[in-house]
Amino acid sequence: MADILVYSEKADAALELVAKGREWAAELGLGLSAACLGAGAAEAASALAAHGADRIFVSDAAFDGLPADTVAAALAAAAAEAGATVVLIASTRRGKELGGRVAQKLGAGCVSDVNALTLEHGELVADRYAYGGATVAREVITTAVKVFAVMPKTFAVGDPVAGAGAVVPLPAPAASAVRVVGRRAKEGEAVDLTAAPRIVGVGRGFAARDDLRLGTELADALHAELACTKSLADFEWLPESRILGLSGAKTKPDLYLAVGVSGQIQHTVGVSSARLIAAVNTDKEAPIFALADYGIVGDLYAVVPALVAKLQSL
Ligand SMILES: Cc1cc2nc3c(=O)[nH]c(=O)nc-3n(C[C@H](O)[C@H](O)[C@H](O)COP(=O)(O)OP(=O)(O)OC[C@H]3O[C@@H](n4cnc5c(N)ncnc54)[C@H](O)[C@@H]3O)c2cc1C
């Protein structure tokens, strides 16, 4: 039987793809396989089996830190073994790189950065932002095998199901054509905005770098992560890792609170899937209000301290 094959190096993202993959596999009369590579693969495989994967291709060899070509070769081997006609990979930084490589090895077409994937009349249709976020392109893959790299949090994790998937061991990874000559830790702080349940986003409404402490206080009071528009990162007021949007993180938090952010499309593509959006802006015509569930038209220098005081009194 042909399969849908699912992979992500991130456990939650893999479970999201398994949930949707299981639904489509049932509709298309396919099996559902998953791949788990690297340390902790056996444990991850049990979770994927409990969520409905029929077969899990497992290798607990040391994949972490291996060049992408090695990981892609292992995934392509799993896809061939599964007879996969659809490969779903989470479109993380690593996943995007793997998607193209796996597709090349399988002679498949590939769409990455997919922010919506739907099954329409038996065909998977991918939505991705085009022209700098100004429009959405709808794309189908016409090759027999199709690889989609789908943004994390596009789908929800499903409930566990009855039944146990079969574990299929994968051979040890092939030698890489790439020789790693050194590694350096990335400078600056590491932040994963995609994992944050609440985010406070700050923009050019803040008149000075020091004033960002107001944003930090608000984020702390809300137990939220602080993020920013690209403009503030361009000023080097905050690191690039905190940009939300086309050039930064695409997130799906429970709450996004935009403060002094105009809401240009290149920013909002990173937050438009938030469950609840609120905004503080002096300009009642600011585009962010078209997206927001709640808005305060007002000066952040008055509104933010009042919000922080209220939150701290609760
Ligand atoms: C190819 C490309 C990629 C891009 N990628 C990204 C991206 O990934 N992320 C991103 O964010 N941007 C991105 N941009 C930039 C984007 O187009 C906008 O320029 C940027 O998001 C605007 O940032 P801002 O909202 O901080 O500033 P502005 O647009 O200047 O908005 C500032 C807002 O603050 C309000 N304000 C002013 N004073 C106050 C006050 N005292 N109290 C409350 N509100 C106040 C104003 O009314 C205004 O609405 C990209 C642009 C391009 C061309």
**161 and 246 fall within a common domain:** no
**150 and 39 fall within a common domain:** yes
Single out the residue in 134, 169, 204 at which a domain terminates: 169
pLDDT number for residue 42: 87
**68 and 208 fall within a common domain:** no
pLDDT digits (tens, 9 = 90+) for 142-159: 999 999 999 888 899 999
pLDDT number for residue 64: 67
The answer to whether residue 181 is domain-embedded is no
The answer to whether residue 41 is domain-embedded is yes
Total domains present in the chain: 2
Single out the residue in 135, 169, 203 at which a domain terminates: 169
pLDDT > 70? residue 253:
yes
Measured at the CA of 116, the angle between CA 275 and CA 77, to 5 degrees, comes to 125
34-48, 94-108, 136-150, 203-217: the lowest-pLDDT one: 34-48
**11 and 105 fall within a common domain:** yes
pLDDT number for residue 244: 97
User: For a substitution probing ligand 1, which of 228, 242, 246, 272 has the most ligand atoms within 8 Å of its CB?
Assistant: 246
pLDDT digits (tens, 9 = 90+) for 191-220: 889 889 999 999 999 999 999 999 999 999
Structure tokens at 258: 């935009």
The answer to whether residue 175 is domain-embedded is no
Percent of the chain with pLDDT over 90: 74
pLDDT number for residue 79: 97
Return the CATH number at 197.
Answer: 3.40.50.1220
| Residue with CA at minimum distance from ligand 1 atom 38 | 205
Tell which atom from ligand 1 comes closest to the C-alpha of 299: 42
Q: Could you give the CA distance from residue 256 to residue 260 in angstroms, rounded to a whole number?
A: 13
pLDDT digits (tens, 9 = 90+) for 270-283: 998 899 999 999 99
Q: Could you give the CA distance from residue 27 to residue 34 in angstroms, rounded to a whole number?
A: 18
DSSP 3-state assignment of 215?
Answer: helix
**116 and 235 fall within a common domain:** no
User: For a substitution probing ligand 1, which of 240, 261, 288 has the most ligand atoms within 8 Å of its CB?
Assistant: 261
Cβ neighbours for 281, distance < 8 A, ≥ 6 positions apart: 205, 258, 260, 261, 262, 288, 289, 295, 296, 297, 300
What is the pLDDT of the chain when averaged over all its residues? Answer: 93
**23 and 158 fall within a common domain:** yes
Please report the DSSP string for 231-284 in residue order.
Answer: HHHHTTSS-GGGBBSTTSB----SEEEEES----HHHHTTTTT-SEEEEEES-T
**38 and 152 fall within a common domain:** yes
82-86, 164-168, 258-262: the lowest-pLDDT one: 164-168
pLDDT band at 36 (very low <50, low <70, confident <90, very high): very high
pLDDT number for residue 130: 86
Return the CATH number at 19.
Answer: 3.40.50.620
Interval 98-105 mean pLDDT = 97
- Secondary structure element (H or E) that encloses residue 27, with its range: helix 11-28
> How far away, in angstroms, is 311 Cα from ligand 1 center?
26
**How many C-beta atoms lie closer than 10 Å to residue 77's C-beta?**
18
Domain of residue 136, residue span: 3-169
Task: Using only the alpha carbons of the chain, give its radius of gyration.
Answer: 21
**278 and 141 fall within a common domain:** no
**140 and 220 fall within a common domain:** no
pLDDT digits (tens, 9 = 90+) for 175-185: 888 888 888 88
**146 and 251 fall within a common domain:** no
- Secondary structure element (H or E) that encloses residue 49, with its range: helix 41-50
**98 and 10 fall within a common domain:** yes
Interval 160-181 mean pLDDT = 85
> How far away, in angstroms, is 101 Cα from ligand 1 center?
35
Where does ligand 1 bind, in terms of residues with CB under 6 Å? 132, 203-205, 229-231, 243-248, 260-262, 264, 266-267, 280-283, 286, 299-301
Cβ neighbours for 307, distance < 8 A, ≥ 6 positions apart: 218, 221
pLDDT > 90? residue 120:
yes
The answer to whether residue 178 is domain-embedded is no
Report the range out of 37-41, 82-86, 182-186 with the highest average pLDDT: 82-86
User: For a substitution probing ligand 1, which of 131, 211, 264 has the most ligand atoms within 8 Å of its CB?
Assistant: 264
pLDDT number for residue 311: 97
Cβ neighbours for 143, distance < 8 A, ≥ 6 positions apart: 107, 108, 109
pLDDT > 80? residue 61:
no
> How far away, in angstroms, is 114 Cα from ligand 1 center?
24
200 has which bridge partners? Answer: 226, 257
The answer to whether residue 180 is domain-embedded is no
The answer to whether residue 176 is domain-embedded is no
Q: Could you give the CA distance from residue 81 to residue 55 in angstroms, rounded to a whole number?
A: 11
**65 and 161 fall within a common domain:** yes
Single out the residue in 169, 185, 204 at which a domain terminates: 169
Interval 75-96 mean pLDDT = 95
The answer to whether residue 286 is domain-embedded is yes
Rounded to 5, what percent of the chain is helix, strand, coil?
35, 25, 40
More confident residue, 180 or 114: 114
The answer to whether residue 188 is domain-embedded is no
Tell which atom from ligand 1 comes closest to the C-alpha of 232: 26
Contact 188, 75 (CB under 8 A): no
